[in-house]
Chains A and B, each alone.
Chain A
Amino acid sequence: MVVPLISLILLCPLAAFAIFGLLGLAKRSFPRQDYLSTAAMLVGFVCSLLLLREVVPNPETHTVKWISLGSITFSMGFYLDSVTAIMLLVVTLVSSLVHIFSIGYMHGDPRYPRFFAFLSLFSFSMLFLVVSDNLLGIYIGWELVGLCSYLLIGFWFEKDSAANACKKAFLTTRVGDVGMFIGMMMLFTKFKTLSLYGEGGIFTLAASLNTGDMVWLSIAGVLIFCGAVGKSAQVPLHTWLPDAMEGPTPVSALIHAATMVAAGVYLTARMFPILTETSSLVIAYIGGITAIVAATIAIVRFDIKRVLAYSTVSQLGYMMLGIGVGSYVAGLFHLTTHAFFKALLFLGSGSVIHAFHAMHAHAHDDEHDHAHEDHDTHEHAHGDDDAHGHDHEHGDHDLVHAHGSEIPPDQDMRNMGGLRHKMPITFVTMLIATLSISGVPFVFSGFWSKDAILGGVLERAMEWNSVHHYLLFGMALLAAGITAFYMFRLIFMTFFGEPRNQEMHNMAHESPLSMTVPLLILAVLSFPVVNKFWFNADYVKPPEQPHLYAPQHAHVSPDSKTEGKGFALSLFGVSEAVAAEEAGHDTHVDGEHHGHSPAHDIAMVLSICVAGLGILLSWLFYHRRTLSAESVANSFRPLYNLFWHKYYFDEFYDGVLVALTVWKARLFAQFDGSVVDGIVNGVGRLTRDFLAVFVGFFDNRVVDGIVNRVAEVTWAVGGRIRRIQTGAIQTYLFVVLAGIVLLILIFRAL
């Protein structure tokens, strides 16, 4: 039952793309590619639901041999465990909703069918990556999603910015992919296989490595993680993701928030059993640094999609941090909750952009009537404060103008404000997602997943008594506070306060049903509805890490762990979660303890505090305006500049790496022009002037001479022999007779 279901999940989107491709060859197109692709995704979603029931705690693999080269066999197959099943569900669900959303959002686009075909191809690739049981299959899916990302970022390739962004995304992720490929090859040379599971799989073989190989294994793990750094936009390869926002917003939601960028986290989680202390620490640090760097950049952005993009980068850093500190379940749990609420935020921002965009396009007349009705009922919140009339960001400084001009007006939060009356559904759903990502306690899924990671970090820190992990915990906590701050900044700037651009505001309107329904569904998913899957210790079993040793083996004994966290926690089934969590790295001394370490309590209290602080500050800055963002920015000018320039990563890459490459290219071009061409030309001249004379002489005299002599001899001999042919028939007869007589004599003699 499992194999047909997985095959169906994979084949439906592939078929939807193939129909587009094959008809495209015949210069036709299916009339409703959108319905076709959406239906394919929905079938995949239903199959994923069915599959969820099939999954048993023991993972299954279904493998076939693919290529045999001598003694080496590459296999291809499915690996199904609870994590795969949940990932399949998340991908198909988000993809289905994004498809439905796109029907409204992309309406009227000249390349409308192509968009859906690409979405289908992407869904297929992503699902293939998820179910693959070997590194080769994962790599194939990995590159395919990269291709789809390239195609969809550059979907509006008429825009130079989009064309550049898709190239940037492709090339930047390629840097990481090279590392990943080297890592794969390291594993391959060692183990002679790319299969991960089973007797001859990498994990089984790696478990039996001795300590002498640990350096080697760490390097391989870090190199494979490089692929994840590129794909999941971790520092220092994160710069492509914000630029990828040039693509259509549904693409940003599906590929650059919910699924593809999470593939890096998924890969790292899959590689969990071969991570060593060193590689784990590298992953945790990269994740922690990414979380805080991206969060701080997000504070000062004005493009609504860029804020969300940096937020995505930051949250991906969180997940990596979770995996890096051994909180396998927490990392993947955050992946799923993040997929839902971040997709919701992106689709919500898409809805806002659509509302503004329709004004420019004049293509959506059907929705305009609605917009005008709303206008009259709208009342301005005049009592806000006295500073509202003046956009503090505008007058801020010239940097804003230098960079602000790049932001399309319909994505610029400085043009928004007061939209909550115009777009109530979008507002409420986005508010729910924001509460979720900010970590507002207990009723939102984001709180649980973020807390699981924070708790995991702190627990590891206390267990190992390691400075690194305390530091990481501090970073994660700070990032959590900043996240709450900038997310509410987005909400306040977009939906509250006074409309800043009255003309655009007048035209804004709620989006059509096909766009609001996915928002509502995703809003429901931002509540902790999937938690019970993750928090069921029998369902999700974290793999063991045979090469991970605690420095002092200073385990907190189960007795010292406090019991219970109040009914609020058990209400949501968290207690088992933490148990499952600990089962992952507590070396299984005792399998049945149910307590928590105090780490999780401390982490929870602290995370609630920082989230509350972030929201409060945001409220003071951007709603009450009792604090001025401008004056704070002025007093921390260097820091502000650092954030505004995104830590100068792009400047560094442009100024150093790109310039270096161009300089190198020029150097090689000069070398090519002078040395290589010089050699080639010199050899040419030598050949023509010197060698050719000799060869010509030889040809004329020797070769031609032989040929002519042969011809002359043939001519002369022929002239003589010709005489034999007298034409007199009796001569011939005589010769025949003589011959016969001769033969008779010869045979007589014998």
Chain B
Amino acid sequence: MTLQHYLVISAILFTLGIFAVLTRRNAISILMGIELILNSCNLNFAAFSRFMTPPEDISGQVIAIFGIVLAAAEAAVFLAIILAIYREFGSIRPNDVDTLKG
């Protein structure tokens, strides 16, 4: 397994994430897309850390751990917001949430 393999996997994950974020009509699905993007980044961090830096330097992998924790916290906040939106608008489709539109 070389660095390229990891990067290819990461790119695929990122593209899938972007695709989900742009096309899905459901906020939960968008969140899932975001999670994919985040995880592709984490994978990149870990991969670069493993292949590009000396073995004793694990800062990239530590950043990946941070990223995972961050993603968990972000998902919690996101879901709480979606819950609040659902209560307010009766829908979780982002297109329905348009009261700020001029």
Chain A interfacial positions (CB closer than 8 Å to B): 722, 725-730, 733-734, 737
Contact = CB atoms under 8 A, between A and B. Distances in A.
Nearest to A730: B22
Interface stretch (B38-46, B58-66, B93-101): B93-101
B14 to A, nearest CB: 11
Given A728-B94, A728-B95, A730-B94, A737 B18 contact: yes
A725 B99 CA distance: 12
Contacts of B18: 737
B55 interface: no
B102 interface: yes
Contact of B98 (A722, A727, A730, A737): A727
A733 B95 CA distance: 13
Contacts of B23: 730
A473 B91 CA distance: 126
A727 B101 contact: yes
A729 B101 contact: no
25 contacts: A722-B102, A725-B101, A725-B102, A726-B101, A727-B95, A727-B98, A727-B100, A727-B101, A728-B94, A728-B95, A728-B98, A729-B94, A729-B95, A729-B97, A730-B21, A730-B22, A730-B23, A730-B30, A730-B94, A730-B95, A733-B21, A733-B22, A734-B22, A737-B18, A737-B22
Interface in B12-29: 18, 21-23
Contacts of B94: 728-730
Contacts of B98: 727-728
A197 B77 CA distance: 92
Given A725-B102, A727-B101, A733-B21, 14 more contacts: A722-B102, A726-B101, A727-B95, A728-B94, A728-B95, A728-B98, A729-B94, A729-B95, A730-B21, A730-B22, A730-B94, A730-B95, A733-B22, A737-B18
Nearest to B99: A727
Contacts of A727: 95, 98, 100-101
Nearest to A722: B102
A725 B102 CA distance: 7
Interface in B68-102: 94-95, 97-98, 100-102
A154 to B, nearest CB: 79
Majority SS at the chain A contact face: helix
Q: Which of A727, A728, A737 has the most CB of B within 10 A?
A: A727
A734 B102 CA distance: 20
Nearest to B27: A729
A441 B18 CA distance: 130
A727 to B, nearest CB: 3
A730 B30 CA distance: 9
A722 B101 CA distance: 10
Contacts of A728: 94-95, 98
A730 B97 CA distance: 12
Contacts of B100: 727
A734 B22 CA distance: 7
A737 B21 CA distance: 11
Nearest to A725: B102
A720 to B, nearest CB: 13
Nearest to B24: A730
A138 B18 CA distance: 95
Contacts of A733: 21-22
A9 to B, nearest CB: 85
A392 B43 CA distance: 137
Contacts of B22: 730, 733-734, 737
A628 B68 CA distance: 136
Contacts of B101: 725-727
Contacts of A722: 102
A547 B100 CA distance: 99
B59 to A, nearest CB: 26
A247 to B, nearest CB: 85
A733 B23 CA distance: 11
A200 B72 CA distance: 92
Q: Which of A722, A729, A734, A737 has the most CB of B within 10 A?
A: A729
